[in-house]
Amino acid sequence: MATQCETLQIAVDDELIAATLLEPKAKLPGVLFVHGWGGSQQRDLERARGLAGMGCICLSFDLRGHAETLAQQETVNREHSLRDLLAAYDRLLAHPHVDPSAVAVIGTSYGGYLSAILTSLRPVKWLALRVPALYRDEDWLVAKRKLDREDLQRYRRTRVRPEENRALGALAAFKGDVLIVESEHDDFVPHETIMSYRAALQQTHSLTHRIIDGADHALSGELCQRAYTEVLTNWATEMIVGARLGER
């Protein structure tokens, strides 16, 4: 574990002897979980507990229009969701033991898209994106439920460049470590979308891309859920826990 040092002197028999005090860094990595559209923080809690057990301070939350505020889903737009994410990030950073230079964001689908945009608005060191969705910049203020799904599917099957999309443009400037997790049989986020995300990530410190064989968008089935948990845990151990140990 990384430590901080303080040189001091100890008085003994009217003399002073030199000493060095070493102690663990007081600050801990912060991890923010962002669920997908139609999901909730409940889907993230087990993985958050796992990372908390590794010495991270984790925060999961429910976007407006989900869980207890489900009645708002007809009117929630991307601006609302981004403001929710910014508020959650700021709440995590307000924790006195969170290291503001060591923040990880883990986003799924719609939450992955929002997390990509977040990197242009707040400091993020590690970014994990599972099946990140992609949306046109147009109609930003239109309710999410009213977006044309067929048009979105056509858009996601084309190669989108960073200069054409806010989320991809944010990632083009991102210099941290990134994990992308793709589902082999995804009917909502096709391989072309994943490749648009990958192509945008040109300045990262590291980029890890994993495909979960046999998985659909929602990771239906216990085997797929366990496979993702293993991928995320291994990556987090290498990146986040490794940083705490002074290996990165």
Checking if the pLDDT of 1 tops 70, the result is no
Q: Enter the DSSP assignment of 84.
A: H
Cα gap 172→203, rounded to integer Å: 7
Task: Write out pLDDT tens, residues 198-214.
Answer: 999 999 999 999 999 99
Q: Which helix (H) or strand (E) holds 151?
A: helix 149-156
CATH number of 27-244: 3.40.50.1820
Checking if the pLDDT of 25 tops 70, the result is no
Of 100, 128, 130, residue with least CA distance to 238: 128
- Cα end-to-end span (Å), the chain: 11
- Which pLDDT belongs to residue 143? 97
Residue 188, both tokens: 């909502």
Residue 14, sorted as left (phi over 0), alpha (psi -120 to 50) or beta, turns out to be: left
Q: What are phi and psi of 209, to 5 degrees?
A: -125, 125
Are 201 and 165 within 8 A, CB to CB?
Answer: no
User: Among 42-46, 111-115, 186-190, which is the least confidently predicted range?
Assistant: 42-46
Domain ranges of the chain: 27-244
Task: Write out pLDDT tens, residues 129-186.
Answer: 999 999 999 999 999 999 999 999 999 999 999 999 999 999 999 999 999 999 999 9
Query: Given pLDDT bands bounded at 50, 70 and 90, which one contains residue 248?
Result: very low
Residue 70, both tokens: 């489900």
Instruction: Label residue 226 exposed, middle or buried (CB < 10 Å: 0-12, 13-18, 19+).
Output: exposed
Checking if the pLDDT of 187 tops 60, the result is yes
Cα gap 183→19, rounded to integer Å: 55
Cα gap 22→43, rounded to integer Å: 39
User: What global pTM score does this model have?
Assistant: 0.90
Are 75 and 147 within 8 A, CB to CB?
Answer: no
Residue 162, both tokens: 């960073």
Task: Write out pLDDT tens, residues 86-106.
Answer: 999 999 999 999 999 999 999
- Which pLDDT belongs to residue 247? 45
